[in-house]
């Protein structure tokens, strides 16, 4: 009968040294590396004549800058190309495992880690990217770091950190058809606020979480950072183990059995102590749509743009060119983006495609695009014929990468354009200067594409 | 890393909450493979009316004269003043690099995002968290008189104004020690290399699947 949380357990098993001032030297098992936040870290290593401490802990891929159109001729933008070439060169120089742009296993770092079995329960996992929290869905402690920390982990396999507090988010109830884990996490962020979980590691628990697939759990853990939490976690259960079994980098044979015995302990004790507890019933939850420029600015699809005296609301409404009282379903969109580390996995694409049923994208939609999370997700989707469904409906079917989630490649919004996006951030300029982002689930994005404006996707479910 | 002791400076008031790192430095500038030169892109989407690209001469661009960073009055400020949850969103350290490169040495806000805070410490930028009421008070002073200046004293953990008012702030002992001395964390950690090696040896035995 312990009182430890899942986070307490994974943290404790990775403490190398505790300083008198409470800072802990924490061992890092897995380091995922991409092209944007690593060049300065590798440069730092070279300048100090250091080498990576444990090369086999590292997996690198280029995802942010890569084009999602034909790649056979390389990257057209010379600045993007230099950054991707720099990663290739650093991986060669330090002999690191990398899935380069033309490898079928290439993809968004937070999609390929779990897909390959590179991310495992009980691990500490870091990456120079705030959405590293995604991997917590496997019962790992995974969090984003800055470039100085990337260099620190490369050089020492450790990070100097202070332990966070524990927050439990308990989600009960059975989701209605058309409502997804994206809607749950948006509702949680709406309730907690964008800094409500700052300083905490969040564990998502409860019957609703238990009944979610691992991929759906990833969508939730992914957006923990949008509530301020550096890490989100879900306890290991049979669903987790089934997901991991037989992945290329997962342990096999006797090692698998030994690992599973350990992973079975990766849950919070019955009397675990949490510093904060939030309870949510999602039995009546409706699809969520953000209306503003922070993920906390979110409402039900059948609501209206809210009125509030807060100056931040005023800024947001102005930027989004919306009037309070406008029904969400009356908001017309110009572009639709299905992709990102939040919602680009095979289940997301299946759910999105299933809604189409011979319908086509509305005439006012300038671009509707589907960007699979990895080459393997793309391959799987094509084997299932999902690409044909999307293309027949008027969607563009692209190559894997971060794409229009942040527009570091050519996939961007023009000033004033409005997008229904399955990504994670609706910040000003996130998808391109002056672009207006509304965050939704994949099925809500498809429904918006088919109608040209937001609609309550539950209408399709009856 | 550059050490930090204390500064006296005017303040630049950025009267917003939830200033995210996309706003601090937009995505197109993250393509740089260097640590320097980001100052001209700080708050790019608010500061310039037209979109920019990495390497472009800022003199060619149209500035938004209304944006606080473009007002001559605050040109010399080394302290950036903002509200809740400063630095939220992306983990991009370019946000801290651009703030430092522009010339700020301190950010005062009523709260900060975690990753931004840790990135700040590692680069010698001091994040100072004050109560919302204290931040309000500082905004009031700066709005009234742009020449209003403060001393930020890290050793004493205090912000002092000319009238002798003191606003004390908290900072972890370790971060204070590193900032005051300009210590490099990697050097400090490598002093424990033997402990890391013995941890690894134990973990290889107890959890060998983590090392494949």
Give the tens place of pLDDT for each residue, A48-92. Answer: 999 999 999 999 999 999 999 999 999 999 999 999 999 999 999
pLDDT score of A191: 98
Based on the number of CB atoms within 10 Å of its own CB, is A342 exposed (0-12), middle (13-18) or buried (19 or more)? Answer: buried
pLDDT score of A1: 67
CATH code linked to domain B6-181: 3.20.19.10
Phi-psi domain of A240 (left: phi exceeds 0; alpha: psi -120 through 50; beta: other): alpha
The verdict on a CB contact (< 8 Å) between B200 and A194 is no
Q: Taking a C-beta distance cutoff of 8 angstroms, is the pair B8, B31 a contact? A: no
Spell out, as residue ranges, where chain A has pLDDT lower than 70: 1, 462
Q: Cβ contacts (< 8 Å) between A259 and chain B: which residues? A: 207, 209
Closest CA to A439 of A237, A315, A301: A301
The verdict on a CB contact (< 8 Å) between A36 and B20 is no
Test the A interface: residue of B31, B124, B181 with most A CBs within 10 Å: B31
Q: Taking a C-beta distance cutoff of 8 angstroms, is the pair A348, A111 a contact? A: no
Burial profile A60-83: b = 16 or more Cβ within 10 angstroms, e = fewer: bbbbbbbbbeeeeeebebebbebb
Q: Cβ contacts (< 8 Å) between B185 and chain A: which residues? A: 148, 152, 160
Residue B202 confidence class, pLDDT cut points 50, 70, 90? very high
Q: Cβ contacts (< 8 Å) between B55 and chain A: which residues? A: 79
Q: What is the domain partition of chain B in residue ranges? A: 6-181, 184-212
**Chain B nearest-CA residue for A78:** B31
pLDDT score of A26: 98
DSSP string, A274-317: -SEEEEEE-TT---EEE-SSSTT-EEETTSB------HHHHHHH
**Above 80 in pLDDT, residue B21?**
yes
- Rounded CA-CA distance A129/A110 in Å is 9
Question: ipTM score here?
Answer: 0.96
Is residue B176 within a helix (H) or strand (E), and if so which, with residue range?
helix B173-181
DSSP string, A174-223: -PPTT--HHHHHHHHHHHH-TTTTTTEEEEEESHHHHTS-HHHHHHHHHG
Average pLDDT, chain A: 97
Strand partners, A438: A420
Distance, in angstroms, between A10 CA and closest chain B CA?
Answer: 13
The verdict on a CB contact (< 8 Å) between A160 and B84 is no
The verdict on a CB contact (< 8 Å) between B208 and A406 is no
pLDDT score of A460: 86
What mean pLDDT is predicted for residues B101-107? Answer: 98
The verdict on a CB contact (< 8 Å) between A433 and B92 is no
**Above 80 in pLDDT, residue B109?**
yes
- Rounded CA-CA distance A235/A132 in Å is 17
| Closest in B45, B90, B111 to A428, CB measured | B45
- Rounded CA-CA distance A305/A323 in Å is 7
How big is the A-B interface in CB pairs under 8 Å? 188
The verdict on a CB contact (< 8 Å) between B30 and A311 is no
Phi-psi domain of A434 (left: phi exceeds 0; alpha: psi -120 through 50; beta: other): left
**Chain A nearest-CA residue for B33:** A39
The verdict on a CB contact (< 8 Å) between B195 and A16 is yes
Distance, in angstroms, between A149 CA and closest chain B CA?
Answer: 8
**Above 80 in pLDDT, residue B64?**
yes
């Amino acid at each position: 009968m312990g009182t430890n949380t899942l986070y307490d357990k994974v943290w404790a098993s990775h403490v190398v040294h505790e300083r008198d001032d409470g800072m802990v030297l924490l061992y890092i098992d897995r380091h995922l590396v991409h092209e944007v936040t690593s060049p300065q870290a590798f440069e730092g290593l070279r300048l100090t004549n250091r080498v990576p401490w444990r090369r086999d802990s590292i997996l690198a891929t280029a995802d942010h800058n890569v084009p999602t159109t034909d790649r056979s001729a390389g990257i057209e933008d010379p600045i993007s190309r230099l950054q991707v070439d720099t990663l290739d060169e650093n991986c060669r120089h330090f002999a690191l495992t990398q899935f380069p742009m033309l490898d079928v296993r290439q993809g968004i770092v937070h999609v390929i880690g779990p897909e390959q079995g590179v991310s495992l329960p009980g691990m500490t996992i870091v990456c120079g990217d705030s959405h590293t929290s995604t991997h917590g869905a496997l019962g790992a402690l995974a969090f984003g770091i800055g470039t100085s920390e990337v260099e620190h982990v490369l050089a020492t396999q450790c990070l100097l950190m202070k332990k966070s507090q524990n927050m439990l988010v308990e989600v009960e109830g059975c989701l209605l058809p058309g409502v997804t884990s994206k809607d749950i996490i948006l509702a949680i962020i709406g309730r907690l606020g964008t800094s409500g979980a700052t300083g905490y590691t969040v564990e998502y628990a409860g019957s609703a979480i238990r009944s979610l697939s691992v991929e759906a759990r990833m969508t939730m853990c992914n957006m923990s950072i949008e509530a301020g939490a550096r890490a989100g976690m879900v306890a290991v259960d049979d669903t987790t183990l089934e997901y991991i079994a037989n992945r290329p980098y997962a342990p096999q044979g006797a090692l698998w059995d030994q690992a599973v015995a350990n992973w079975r302990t990766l849950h919070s004790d019955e009397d675990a102590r949490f510093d904060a507890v939030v309870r949510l019933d999602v039995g009546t939850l409706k699809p969520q749509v953000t209306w503003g420029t922070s993920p906390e600015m979110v409402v039900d699809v059948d609501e209206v743009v809210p009125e509030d005296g807060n100056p931040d609301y005023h800024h947001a409404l102005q930027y989004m060119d919306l009037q309070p009282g406008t029904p969400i379903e009356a908001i017309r969109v110009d572009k639709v983006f299905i992709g990102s580390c939040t919602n680009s996995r095979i289940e997301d694409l299946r759910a999105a495609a299933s809604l189409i049923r011979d319908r086509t994208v509305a005439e006012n939609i300038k671009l509707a695009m589907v960007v699979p999370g990895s080459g393997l997700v793309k391959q799987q989707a094509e084997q299932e014929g999902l690409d044909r469904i999307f293309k027949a409906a008027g969607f563009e079917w692209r190559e894997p990468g971060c794409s229009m989630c942040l527009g570091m490649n050519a996939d961007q919004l023009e000033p004033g354009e409005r997008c229904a996006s399955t990504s994670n951030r609706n910040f000003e300029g996130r998808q391109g200067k002056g672009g207006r982002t509304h965050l939704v689930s994949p099925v809500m994005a498809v429904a918006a594409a088919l109608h040209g404006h937001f609609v309550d996707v539950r209408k399709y479910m009856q | 890393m550059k050490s930090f002791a204390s500064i006296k400076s005017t303040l630049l008031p950025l009267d917003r909450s939830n200033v995210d790192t996309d706003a601090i430095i937009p995505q197109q500038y993250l393509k740089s493979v260097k640590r320097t030169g980001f100052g001209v892109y700080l708050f790019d989407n608010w500061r310039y009316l037209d979109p920019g690209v990495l390497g472009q001469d800022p003199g060619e661009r149209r500035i938004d004269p209304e944006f606080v960073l473009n007002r001559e009055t605050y040109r010399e400020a080394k302290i950036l003043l903002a509200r809740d949850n400063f630095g939220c969103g992306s983990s991009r350290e370019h946000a801290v690099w651009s703030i430092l490169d522009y010339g700020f040495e301190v950010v005062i806000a009523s709260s900060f995002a975690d990753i931004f805070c840790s990135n700040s410490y590692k680069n010698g930028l001091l994040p100072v968290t004050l109560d919302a009421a204290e931040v309000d008070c500082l905004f009031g002073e700066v709005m009234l008189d742009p020449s209003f200046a403060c001393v930020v004293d890290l050793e004493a953990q205090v912000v002092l104004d000319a009238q002798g008012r003191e606003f004390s702030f908290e900072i972890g002992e370790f971060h204070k020690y590193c900032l005051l001395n300009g210590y490099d964390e990697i050097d400090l950690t490598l002093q424990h290399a033997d402990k890391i090696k013995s941890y690894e040896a134990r973990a290889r035995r107890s959890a060998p699947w983590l090392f494949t």
